[in-house]
Structure formats: C-alpha cells, structure tokens
Amino acid sequence: MTRMTETVIGVGGAAESTDMVLNIGPQHPSTHGVLRLRLVLDGERISSAEPVVGYMHRGAEKLFEARDYRQIIVLANRHDWLSAFSNELGVVLAVERMLGMEVPERAVWLRTLLAELNRVLNHLMFLGSYPLELGGITPIFYAFTERESLQHVMEEVSGGRMHYMFNRVGGLKDELPAGWTGRAREAVADVRSGMTRLDELVLGNEVFRARTRGVGVLRPETAHAFGISGPIARASGVDFDLRRDDSYLAYGELGDVLRVVTRDAGDCLARFEVLLDQAKNALDLADACLDRLAELPPGPVNQRLPKVLKAPEGATYAWTENPLGINGYYLVSKGEKTPYRLKLRSASFNNIQALRELLPGTLVADMVAILGSFFFVVGDIDK
C-alpha cells in the first residue's frame, strides 16, 4: 500500500486576526491628486483611516511674505485651481479692508457676477467627474460641454481659462469687452438648459442612487467639530452660507434670489444634490447681476493706486464663501509693501480631515464613493 503524505500549504484562519494596512495614494486614480489615505482594514471593512497631506505643499503662505500686494494675487489665485477668481477675491478684499478702500459700484456687481460664474465652473467639474468614479462616463462629457460655454466668456473678459488674474486691489483689471454681457447671458441660458441632462442621467439613475444613498453619512456635529463648510456641510443640515450670513460684495442686495441649499441626509447622494442645486442657484444669481449691470450707468471698475502700495500697520481677516466652502485670509501688516503675515484658511484642508471619522466602519468598495463626494482640490489642502 502506497504511503500518503498530506501537506498544508495555507491557512485562511490565521489572517482573520491580522489587520491589513492599505495605502491609497499618494499617486492613485481615486485620490483626486497627490493625496494619501492610510487605511487599516479588517477584511473588506475599514477599521481606521488617516488622510496624509503635504505631498504637494508649495509654501504659498511663506511666499506671500516676499511679494508685494499686487504680486500676492497670483499666488492666492492657484491653491484651488477650479476657483481661481474666488481665491483672488478673498485676498483683495482683505487688502482693501486694511486700506479702508471703497470699490466702485460697477466693480462690486461685476465681481459678484464673475464669482458666481466661477462657482458654476467649479461645480460642473465635480458634477461630471463624480459619476465617472462610480462607473458612469457620459455625464462628464455633458458637464464639460456646459463648462466650455462659461469658459469662453470668462476667457474673453480676463484672458485666462483657469487662472484669471482679473481682480485688482481697488476693483478689476479692465472694463468689459463690448457686447460681453449679452454673450454671458446666452452662456448662462445654455448651461441652465444643459443642467436637466445631469438630473436625468445621474439623479435619475438607479445604480447611482444605490451606490450613494445612505453611504458616508456625515453628522452635523462632526461637521461643526472639524470646521467643515460649503456644500458638504450644508448636505448635513448645517444651514450656513457667508453670502447670506455675513454678506459681502452685492449679496446683501440679492437676498430674494440667493437660496441656501441644504439637505438633512448627510450622505453622498445629499452632497451631490446640494452641489447640483447650488449650481442652478448660482446661474440665477448671475442673471440677477447681469440685470443690475444693465441698469448701472457707465463708470470706472477700479481705483487709481500709488506706484508703491503699502497697507497701514494692523491686522484684518476677510472670508468668502468659495465654491468648496469658507476661504479666509488673515492679513498682518507692518506698514510695508509686503504682508508681514498672510494666513490662508482653505475649505478643502478642513473638509478632508473628516475622513478619519467618516471612513471607519465602511466597506472598501464605498471608499471611492465617499472620497469623491467630498469635492476637494489637493492644492487647496496643501497650499
């Protein structure tokens, strides 16, 4: 009788008590850029998560101290490259507050208009890319079609497609090109009609709703604890928007048009819905600004500045409701032509920290859905 030999080549049970550490990024298709997520897994479920940032740090805050008040605009422009106009706006508002400077009325309404067009451009990028991460490729083509309509008018007025550099301390760089308001109104109408396709393709899709409803629920108390703002916070029922609650520019006169969109569910689906509705309201605000500009008489769009611009000694803080949340600049001046200190409070930096509370307990398969629904830009995290 032949003798049988039994060999054990693997034991599955031994792995059950061993946690697995999984690094997502810093170079990974699901991380929206140079972000690293250090996940500890228990099987298919995440037991802990740590967002690791800093791989793209460019030292903008330190560079602010070596540039004069005209030059720092180009640095502020870039941290959230989808919201360049809004980034510029925050820093010039801080400098103007230090100087006690009044901006011409026409420039105030133009800034409000361009900020809302920039908001729509930002939101359309995420409204198209988020379904792509869940397997739906068609929405991104429609979203980019609508973005091009707005990009044309933004490029015509500023000369730039992403980094507009159109804000100046005291107003705006130039007056509008002839006939620009009519072309802007046509672009707004085109984008508004195209929004229905996103409603039908995405929100009407059963697979998308199944992948996002009840997934990644962010509680309002967690949003408050981490200083989360913008569409993500409002999707969790945090009813706060600086345009209404601490109005700046012309928003105080747009109260009948401005609508602060909120949801109570706090899940991935709610965050997408808030972003979509907020983009639609931004188009309404843009139309209202165009109506107001048509009533204003011709006039300057900026103030004459001295050759060397110096802010008086002191400190101030200016914050704006950027597309992704609260953007703030704390400016300290020693009376020189460069800031002594300019601290940037960016929306994405605070928002992304909540992933350490949100991801534990969820499945690895839902991680991409949750991460994508946080609508962040890595440059806005690392500054």
**Closest to 83 in 3D by CA, of 51, 118, 43:** 118
pLDDT value at position 5? 56
Phi-psi region of 316 (alpha: psi -120 to 50; beta: other; left: phi over 0): beta
The model's confidence at residue 33, banded by pLDDT at 50, 70 and 90, is: low
Q: What sign for the dihedral angle of Cα 226, 229, 232, 233?
A: positive
pLDDT value at position 19? 76
Full-model pTM: 0.91
pLDDT value at position 120? 97
Q: Give the count of beta carbons closer than 10 Å to the beta carbon of residue 174.
A: 13
Q: What sign for the dihedral angle of Cα 27, 33, 36, 41?
A: negative
| pLDDT, greater one: 2 or 147 | 147
DSSP 129-176: HHHHHTT--HHHHHHHHHHHHHHHHHHHHHS-SS----EETTEESSPP
pLDDT value at position 145? 93
Which residues 6+ apart lie within 8 Å of 60 measured at CB? 75, 76, 78, 79, 344, 383
The residues with which 345 forms a beta bridge, in sequence order, are 328
Per the prediction, the chain carries an average pLDDT of 91
Looking at CATH, the fold of the domain delimited by 60-381 is given as Cytochrome-c3 Hydrogenase; chain B (1.10.645)
Residue 221 has pLDDT above 60, yes or no: yes
pLDDT (tens digit, 9 = 90+) per residue, 130-156? 999 888 899 999 999 999 999 999 999
Q: What sign for the dihedral angle of Cα 247, 251, 256, 260?
A: negative
pLDDT (tens digit, 9 = 90+) per residue, 252-293? 999 999 999 999 999 999 999 999 999 999 999 999 999 999
The model's confidence at residue 204, banded by pLDDT at 50, 70 and 90, is: confident
- Looking at the chain, the whole-number percentage of residues with pLDDT higher than 70 is 94
Cα–Cα distance for residue pair 58/79, rounded to 1 Å: 9
Residue 15 has pLDDT above 60, yes or no: no
pLDDT (tens digit, 9 = 90+) per residue, 41-77? 988 899 999 999 888 888 889 999 999 999 999 999 9
Cα–Cα distance for residue pair 239/260, rounded to 1 Å: 7
pLDDT value at position 9? 43
pLDDT (tens digit, 9 = 90+) per residue, 150-201? 999 999 999 998 899 999 999 999 999 999 999 999 999 999 999 888 888 8
Residue 233 has pLDDT above 50, yes or no: yes
Cα–Cα distance for residue pair 167/76, rounded to 1 Å: 11
pLDDT value at position 285? 98
Asked if omega into 26 is within 30° of 0 (cis), the reply is: yes
pLDDT value at position 18? 66
Sheet holding 341-345, edge to edge: 314-322, 325-333, 341-345
Question: What is the residue extent of each domain of the chain?
Answer: 60-381
Average pLDDT of the segment spanning 302-329: 94
